[in-house]
Structure 1
Amino acid sequence: MMRVNIWWNLLITTGLGAVIGGYTNHVAIQMLFRPHEPVYIGKYRVPFTPGLIPKRRDELARQMGRMVVEHLLTPEGIEKRLQNEAFRNEITQWAQTEAGKLLQTDRSVRELLAVAGATDVEGKGQAFVQGLVQNKLNEVFDTYGALSLAEALPADTKDKIGAWIPKAADMLVQKGIEYFESEAGKRRLSQMVDDFFASRGTLLNLVGMFLGNANLAERIQPEIIKFLRQGGAQKLLTEVIEKEWQALQERKIGEAEELLSRQTILDAILRSVNMEEAIGAMLDRPVRDFLAPYAGRVQTELTPSAVNRVFQWISSHLPTVMKRLHLSEIVEGEVATFSTERLEDLILSIMKSELKAITYLGALLGGLIGIVQGLVMQLMS
């Protein structure tokens, strides 16, 4: 009977110790989070309220920020990841896939710019081209304004213009022959004869009426055409153009501003290219039309090279970028905005098994203490 009492006492003390130890640890763990808000009796705050983590949430947020920066997202760790060959190949393949999609897209340039958030593309494009042309025009006048045209033009350009002058004179002669042989030329010649006699007074007007202006125009027309067909006309016109070309070469480029302002020249250039229509047509074309000639090179050369350059830039600027990002402050700010319930769920999701182990360990230690206590009591009795 006495032996049964001994085992019964040991069982009771062990069970009570295990329950007390486990429950004590469970309560201690709960006190880390609960209560979420301070509890007051009258004007006095109950000790240990709120729980340890809600009470020190700001410090926890600050320490988590430091932990992330100093031990998790370090420049060394990120640099090591960037140098990983498998990771680089993965990023390169992804970039090549995205580049391939862009090379085959049916979207127009306008649509892609709209997706990127660009607005008033035509207006900005016109302003950009206008600014570019204006800068080049100003550069030409500022750089070459004090030079003569002969000094500014390359020698081969002057030679080409000189060789082109006889051809231009011959072309003008041929156009003149075609004009005077046409009905429009005949009418114009007849009108010129009429105007000539009408402006020379009554006597010559009477002579014109006597001769007949139409007959006179018909007689003059073949002579004009004959003159133009002769080599002398082409030679004379060539000499005149060459003389004017030589005189023009001696003029200073800056003198052009005396005849036309820079703005007038700029407006003429922009009108000649019909910039608004050209930019609109370019924006409405599919992107693949622009990229098609470079598709193979984009995939095999440009994309891997661009990825490599990005990695190099990140590696060389990583410490500065991370410092400017203030990651610890970001983490601290995010954690500080967590509700106590969310913070509790976050910690429990990470340490749930460990906290349960602490509870079980408390029960085990309590049980062992109960056994020791039971044995001591038996020895003392």
Structure 2
Amino acid sequence: MTHNLTELLSKIFGFEEFKGNQKEIIQSLLAGHDTFVLMPTGSGKSLCYQLPALIMEGTAIIVSPLIALMKNQVDALRETTGSNDIAHVLNSSLNKAQLDQVYHDVSAGETKLLYVAPESLGKAENIEFFRQVKISFFAIDEAHCISEWGHDFRPEYRKIRPVVDEIGRRPIIALTATATPKVEHDIRKNLGILDGKIFKSSFNRPNLYYSVEKKGEDVNARIIRFIRKRPNKSGIIYCMSREKVMNLSKLLQMNGIKALPYHAGLDAKERSANQDAFLSEECRVIVATIAFGMGIDKPDVRYVIHYDMPKSLEGYYQETGRAGRDGGEGYCLAFYNEKDIQKLENFMQGKPIAEQEIGRQL
């Protein structure tokens, strides 16, 4: 079964050509191979499973860790294809009527991509349902969540492979933007795709400028000056604590900067509204904990500021990688001081010894 992939890319997504090794990855999946993809943030990972899902028979199951990320991608796909049934989300936020609609559209063969939280994938009633429908493949997004050596470990990710076996074995594609060799091996071993095809892209982003400065008493004033020098430019500021997020966003607002907070403690409605305001440019700056930004598709973020030291180098790479996704310039500014290191060490107290060891290495 041959497809003119470039023609389909243009017709469905409006792009004239593939980036990097997107085409080879898609061909690997279409040929039924298990596939591991290591690709920097912003180089078009999601296209690697979206296009094959639209081509292949059946429904692709996309396992993703964040509800905001799923909603973002589903909305974009519906808009691109002009169909509301083409993509759905299956997670704990749905009510009974919405759930029935999802089941109906998948059973009818209307839905090509079903975004599922890892917890929902393993529910008995969902496993039973998936066994009765045609599944094209499984895509595991943010696959570094599988590894205890990763910067964003989630235990429920380690249960994905047994669930896939229960549903019925189909090709698996695992995608991540951050993985050391150890994390990569852990992902492939845990998913049982050690024999799969491997694709890795260069991680050099020449359009990003990195700067690290010592944090002084005047840090807030410096950030305000920095933002004012870039009027009408979008940026993200990462803070370690929710309290800091709230205080800094208020301070920026008081100084006439359109800023909004984003962290896991806000209710879902407010988080979603703030994210949408940022995407639609009603607000220029999002002040956030690291919960923000996984899979946020805003290509013209011009700067990423780390108010506090990032938790790990991997995490830092991924967070700063949200700048300049359109190929335009991105300024990455990080502030550091000794207190931040102490805070990070305090976070690890009381955790299992193995986890503390991993944390120190990261």
| TM-score after normalising by structure 1 | 0.14
- Higher relative CO (CA 8 A, sep ≥ 6), structure 1 or 2? 1
TM-score norm. by structure 2 comes to 0.15
Structure holding more helix per residue: 1
Higher strand share: 2
